[in-house]
């Protein structure tokens, strides 16, 4: 389903099938211009989606910034105009999309900045800890903030996690994955200890995920895996406050669920004239 179709579905959550929106109907026949602005700085995301909201309702969205741009307090994001009913009907959904997506993009950019300040070439990535039905928007927000989306769904790569290994063991899980996956698919193995990390690399894993390890443990793992052609990913408990430590430890990738599930919404408002 396209993002535009999803936006239409979101509108249906706010307005019943027969569009009996009494609140907005009290301004029927009026034309208006509005200003959507931010009360705080950050990286804006969701402009495209907010434009879809107003366009779907028959208003002109008139964006003033592009997705991925940095904004400062009081900056104007868009100036929708047209039928007053359309503006008021789309207001909350547009602000919700802009606020949530901008919050994720801003959190991502902050972590990317922390990593870049160390001089490391570590990639900041999201995880699949996303909201069902809203994943496309959250992943896009991460990308707009300068991060990597990681796997979008279960088919993007093979990931052998703790429960896979518990059920059939590392060797069997890896062999079956190798037999069944396309040559285009990478195989990633989650390791909770250094022994598993080394064994996964020996078997030929493309990526070894170091789960819930300290920066010191990650540094040791990076050293032990240096002779293998493997990407080292660190995940679990990584935050803006410690992401630089993991970058300095030598991780090729740091994946952070907090980019999505713990980011604060950007504070935005809309005023009608």
Query: Average pLDDT in the 184-210 region?
Result: 97
Confidence band of 271 (pLDDT split at 50, 70, 90): very high
Mean pLDDT of the chain: 95
Give the Cα separation of 227 and 225 in Å (integer). 6
Give the Cα separation of 157 and 178 in Å (integer). 12
Q: Would you state the pLDDT for residue 74?
A: 97
* DSSP codes of every residue in 148-181: B---SSTTSSEEE-HHHHHHH-HHHHHHHHHHHS
The distance of Cα 25 from the centroid of its chain, to the nearest Å, equals 36
Partners of 35 in the beta sheet? 271
pLDDT tens-digit series, residues 120-179: 999 999 999 999 999 999 999 999 999 999 999 999 999 999 999 999 999 999 999 999
Q: What is the CA radius of gyration of the chain?
A: 22
The distance of Cα 6 from the centroid of its chain, to the nearest Å, equals 17
Give the single-character DSSP code of 267. -
- With 60 as the cut, is the pLDDT of residue 1 above it? no
Region of poorest pLDDT, from 14-18, 44-48, 66-70: 14-18
Order of all β-strands in the sheet with 253-255: 123-125, 253-255, 231-235, 207-211, 187-191, 158-160
* DSSP codes of every residue in 108-120: HHHHHHHHHHHT-
User: Measuring CA to CA, which residue among 101, 96, 117, 115 is closest to residue 43?
Assistant: 101
Domain boundaries, given as residue ranges, for the chain: 3-110+263-272, 112-261
Q: Would you state the pLDDT for residue 24?
A: 87
Confidence band of 214 (pLDDT split at 50, 70, 90): very high
Length of the chain: 273
Its CATH architecture, for the domain 3-110+263-272, is Alpha-Beta Complex (3.90)
Confidence band of 96 (pLDDT split at 50, 70, 90): very high
**Cβ contacts of residue 119 below 8 Å, gap of 6+?**
none
Catalytic residues: 92, 129, 161, 190, 211
**Token digits for 44?**
């804006």
Between 3.20.20.70, 2.10.70.10, 3.20.10.10, 3.40.50.620, what CATH number should domain 112-261 receive? 3.20.20.70
- Global pTM reads 0.95
Confidence band of 17 (pLDDT split at 50, 70, 90): low
Q: Would you state the pLDDT for residue 31?
A: 96
Please, what is the angle between helix 135-144 and helix 3-14, to 10°? 120
Confidence band of 22 (pLDDT split at 50, 70, 90): confident
**Cβ contacts of residue 127 below 8 Å, gap of 6+?**
150, 235, 255, 256, 257, 260
**Token digits for 66?**
């592009």
Confidence band of 18 (pLDDT split at 50, 70, 90): low
Whether 3-110+263-272 and 112-261 share one fold: the answer is no
pLDDT tens-digit series, residues 235-270: 999 999 999 999 999 999 999 999 999 999 999 999
**Token digits for 106?**
């801003």
Kindly tell me the burial class for residue 133, based on how many C-beta atoms sit within 10 Å of its own C-beta (0-12, 13-18, 19 or more). Answer: exposed
Mark out the alpha helices in the chain (DSSP H runs): 3-14, 22-25, 47-56, 84-118, 135-144, 162-168, 170-180, 194-203, 215-224, 243-248, 258-261
CA angle 217, 168, 204 (to 5 degrees): 55
């Amino acid at each position: 389903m396209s993002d535009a179709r999803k936006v239409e579905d979101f509108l249906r959550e706010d307005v019943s099938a027969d569009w009996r929106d009494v609140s907005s109907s009290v301004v029927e026949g009026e034309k208006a211009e509005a200003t959507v602005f931010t009360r705080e700085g950050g990286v804006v995301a969701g402009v495209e989606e907010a434009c879809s909201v107003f366009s779907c309702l028959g208003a002109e969205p008139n964006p003033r910034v592009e997705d991925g741009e940095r904004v400062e307090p009081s900056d104007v994001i868009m100036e929708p105009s047209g039928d007053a009913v359309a503006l008021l009907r789309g207001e909350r959904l547009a602000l919700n999309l802009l606020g949530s997506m901008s919050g994720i993009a801003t959190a991502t950019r902050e972590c990317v900045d922390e990593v870049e300040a160390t001089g490391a070439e570590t990639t900041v990535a999201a995880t699949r800890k996303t909201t069902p039905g809203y994943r496309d928007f959250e992943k896009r927000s991460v990308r707009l903030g300068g991060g990597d989306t990681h796997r979008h769904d279960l088919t993007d790569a093979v990931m052998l996690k703790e429960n896979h290994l518990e059920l059939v063991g590392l060797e069997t899980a890896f062999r079956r994955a190798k037999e069944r996956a396309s040559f285009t698919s990478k195989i990633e193995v989650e390791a909770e200890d250094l022994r598993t990390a080394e064994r996964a690399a020996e078997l030929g894993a493309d990526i070894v995920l170091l789960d819930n390890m300290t920066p010191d443990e990650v540094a040791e793992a990076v050293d032990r895996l240096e002779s293998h052609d493997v990407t080292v990913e660190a995940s679990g408990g990584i935050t803006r406050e410690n992401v630089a430590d993991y970058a300095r430890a030598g991780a090729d990738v740091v994946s952070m669920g907090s980019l999505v599930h713990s980011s604060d919404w950007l504070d935005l408002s809309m005023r009608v004239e």
